[in-house]
């Protein structure tokens, strides 16, 4: 009841915000893009992995119209205690990594958001599916396409949704560029450039441990350029070439890529040229070129604000908290079968994993690797 009351309060507040925008702060207005009807259901979510991004998602959920954080799964009892008091989570909705299969007997949790190190996603999502709960999983969905496909299959068998945390698929300036491209304002698309990177710190973190990460910068940040190339160009690549550079083989051990440049070839000769690195800061840039126009976004995939210029002027869509909008939209996908402009389902995640597998193969062999994403 409390969930529903809270939700209805938020719903009417957002309706007011939309009715009288002049009197409302930008954040209240822009985070309420999803107009929620009185009968909309609230998605009750448990977060698995209470680390840095899990905390960001938990905070963002507090502003959701139709998502509520109701549970946690963690191996650290002190974090569970903190989250119980911060987010008013009942003890009966708290689990650890050994006992969370029991979530199947908990009718108060609809979905589990897996926000743990990459290599753990596969088994955790499969267990969530077997417990009959919807799975939301962070990027990269797994550490190989084969593992990603096993997750898709398990969720299909269990009859639950599998959604990947592709927050950019709901970001307003990104969606505006996609609209421009679809409406032909850029003409025929010819070229995309995606540059993604940062200088990684602590050498002992899981991101630099191949067993937990499945790779280096590519799994973590290069995936934004891969995914961005696909949604910006609006086609699937048919081949890839790639080259690796390593300046510190002590920090970036075997299987952990430091810097990879890669090229994706699309049907009709469109090319994407991308860079993924753990060795350069301030690298978050997309550029799209068409026969009639262009778009330059920087930052293009950070937490925001996303900024950009086009041949027709600056991008001026509302600034949102990405994770708040993502979660409200995911509730609509789960409950109403809403089709997002760019998919966030498991199959979408597998396509990116196939490209990552092919990039690693291209680095190893020096060959052009063919892709079949259909």
Q: What mask of x and - would describe binding to ligand NAD in positions 43 to 72, judged by CB under 6 A?
A: ------xxxxxx------------------
Q: Which residue has the tokens 């996609």?
A: 178
Question: Interface with ligand NAD by CB under 6 A: which range of 105-113, 115-123, 148-156, 272-280?
Answer: 115-123
Q: How far is the CB of 235 from ligand NAD (least distance, A)?
A: 24
Say whether residue 115 binds ligand NAD (CB under 6 A): yes
Contact yes or no for 39/46 (Cβ under 8 A): no
Say whether residue 198 binds ligand NAD (CB under 6 A): no
Which is closer to ligand NAD, CB of 13 or CB of 120?
120
Active-site residue flag, 92: no
Please select the residue that binds ligand NAD; options are 148, 165, 172, 215, rule is CB under 6 A. 165
Cα–Cα dist 181/187, whole Å: 7
Nearest to 294 by CA among 315, 277, 275: 315
Say whether residue 308 binds ligand NAD (CB under 6 A): no
Q: How far is the CB of 339 from ligand NAD (least distance, A)?
A: 21
Tell me the three state secondary structure of residue 297: strand
| 23-40: b (≥16 Cβ within 10 Å) or e | ebeeebbbbbbbebeeeb
Task: Give the tokens for residue 209.
Answer: 């441990």
Q: Which of 224, 231, 278, 287 is catalytic?
A: 224
Using CB under 6 A, which residues numbered 205 to 224 contact ligand NAD?
Answer: 206, 212, 220
Q: Which long-range contacts (CB under 8 A, 24 or more apart) does 172-176 make?
A: 172/30, 172/33, 172/317, 172/318, 172/319, 172/320, 173/297, 173/306, 173/307, 173/308, 173/315, 173/317, 174/231, 174/297, 174/300, 174/306, 175/317, 175/341, 176/315, 176/317
Active-site residue flag, 139: yes
Residues in the chain: 374
**Residue closest to ligand NAD when measured from CB atoms:** 51
Say whether residue 255 binds ligand NAD (CB under 6 A): no
Question: Interface with ligand NAD by CB under 6 A: which range of 85-93, 111-119, 181-189, 350-358?
Answer: 111-119
Give the footprint of ligand NAD on this chain (CB under 6 A): 49-54, 75-76, 115-118, 120, 138-139, 165, 167, 206, 212, 220
Catalytic residues: 139, 224
């Amino acid at each position: 009841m409390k969930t529903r009351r809270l939700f209805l309060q938020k719903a009417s507040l957002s309706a007011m915000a939309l009715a009288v925008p002049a009197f409302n702060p930008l954040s209240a207005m822009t985070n309420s893009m999803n107009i929620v009807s009185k009968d909309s259901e609230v998605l009750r979510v448990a977060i698995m992995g209470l680390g840095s991004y899990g905390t960001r998602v938990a905070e963002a959920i507090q502003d959701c119209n139709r998502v509520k954080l109701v549970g946690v799964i963690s191996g650290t009892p002190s974090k569970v205690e903190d989250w119980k008091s911060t987010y008013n989570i009942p003890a009966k909705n708290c689990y650890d990594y050994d006992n969370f299969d029991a979530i199947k007997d908990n009718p108060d949790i609809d979905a589990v958001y897996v926000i743990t190190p990459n290599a753990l996603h596969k088994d955790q999502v499969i267990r969530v599916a077997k417990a009959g709960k919807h799975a939301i999983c962070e990027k990269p969905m797994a550490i190989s396409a084969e593992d990603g496909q096993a997750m898709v299959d398990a969720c299909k068998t269990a009859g639950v949704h599998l959604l990947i945390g592709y927050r950019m698929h709901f970001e307003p300036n990104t969606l505006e560029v996609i609209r421009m491209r679809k409406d032909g304002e850029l003409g025929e698309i010819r070229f995309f450039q995606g540059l993604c990177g940062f200088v990684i710190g602590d050498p002992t973190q899981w991101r630099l441990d191949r067993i937990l990460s499945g790779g280096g910068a590519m799994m973590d940040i290069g995936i934004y350029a891969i995914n961005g190339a696909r949604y910006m160009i609006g086609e699937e690549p048919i081949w890839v070439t790639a080259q690796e550079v390593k300046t510190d083989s002590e920090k970036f051990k075997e299987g952990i890529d430091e810097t990879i440049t890669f090229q994706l070839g699309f049907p009709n000769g469109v090319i994407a040229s991308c860079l993924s690195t753990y060795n350069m800061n301030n690298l978050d840039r997309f550029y799209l070129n068409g026969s009639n126009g262009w778009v330059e976004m920087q930052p293009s995939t950070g937490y925001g604000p996303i900024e950009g210029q086009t041949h027709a002027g600056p991008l001026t869509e509302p600034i949102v908290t990405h994770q708040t909008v993502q979660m409200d939209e995911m509730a609509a996908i789960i409950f109403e079968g809403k089709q997002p402009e760019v998919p966030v389902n498991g199959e979408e995640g597998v396509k990116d994993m196939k490209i990552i597998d092919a990039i690693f193969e291209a680095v190893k062999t020096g060959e052009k690797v063919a892709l079949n994403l259909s």
